Amino acid sequence: MSRISIIDLEVFYHVGVPDAERVQPQRLLLTVEMESDFSAAAHSDDIRDTIDYFAVSQRLLKFGDGHEWKLIEKLAADIADMVLSEFKLQSVMVEVKKFPIPQARHVSVTVARKR
């Protein structure tokens, strides 16, 4: 197994427990680690034999359009399920970072899924 990682992709989604917190999209950072067998891609040098990380990032940038979440736990699970179902990979790990506590660098939730 090999891994492709997208680290700290900046997105803006409607998330938060109080209704008022979800009114405006919040800045979040997403880290997505995708595992699969990339041996065919290493041999062919063809993007069709790997995970198109640009396509994944574009999908993530639009993932929040028209949606909202109360909990980043649910958001992380939804992202993991979407990436696993839409892209050809064996497993995915998603970390969502949020910035609600001024005295902390961030709060994060991590979810992993396997095919």
What tens digit of pLDDT does each residue of 52-73 get?
999 999 999 999 999 999 999 9
Compute the distance between CA of residue 1 and CA of residue 100 in angstroms, rounded to an integer.
Answer: 36
pLDDT on residue 60: 98
Q: Which residues of the chain have pLDDT under 50?
A: none
Task: Give the angle 38-59-114 at the CA atoms, nearest 5°.
Answer: 45
pLDDT on residue 88: 87
**Structural domains of the chain, with CATH:** 2-114 (3.30.1130.10)
Question: 10 Å Cβ neighbour count for 51?
Answer: 23
Residue ranges of alpha helices (H) inside the chain are 39-44, 53-63, 72-86
pTM, two decimals, is 0.95
pLDDT on residue 73: 98
